[in-house]
Amino acid sequence: MQRAPHDVAPKPGPSGPAAHTAAAPAPASPQIQLIPASAEGALDAAEEAVDLLLESGRAPGEVLVITTGEQHPWAAHELSFGEASYWAQHDAGDDVFYTDAAAVSRAAARPVVVVAVNGGPASAAATALPLAHGRAGALLIVCGDPQQINSVLGTGV
């Protein structure tokens, strides 16, 4: 008699949260767009993509831009005022936010993420692209060498 209640009681506890976690809907994968560009042209391609997004009605605060090589000039300029001011702008979410691959893990998710694969170590894109994919709610735009990007995100992107 003691066995039945003892066996039954622990099962709902551990399986309850696990079942709840498993039943939680997985976020939909964002659409991925690839814009072929050289490392030297990736930042310009990303800028054009951002301009088109804004012209099509996207709010500036919905866009995160990540660079794998040299920082975007905006990020370099804003960082000259200090990290606290720079990240306060990110947290405000009022404007397009530019960051580099090394700091992308600190950036919050946004509906659109644009990645400029503009050089940097080979590991930068390999690290940044999966993180960017996880941060993008609806759309991930990647500007760079298609072969390099496909090798990281999977073929046929």
pLDDT band for 6, please (50, 70, 90 cuts). Answer: very low
Say how far residue 68 (Cα) sits from the centre of its chain: 12
Instruction: Provide the CB-side half-sphere exposure for 96 (13 A, CA).
Output: 21
Give per-residue pLDDT as tens, 109-144.
999 999 999 999 888 999 899 999 999 999 999 999
Res 153: pLDDT: 77
Does 25 score more than 70 pLDDT? no
Q: What integer pLDDT is reported at residue 109 of this predicted model?
A: 95
113, 66 contact by CB (below 8 A):
yes
Q: Using 50, 70 and 90 to split pLDDT, how confident is the model at 27?
A: low
This prediction's pTM? 0.80
More confident residue, 26 or 89: 89
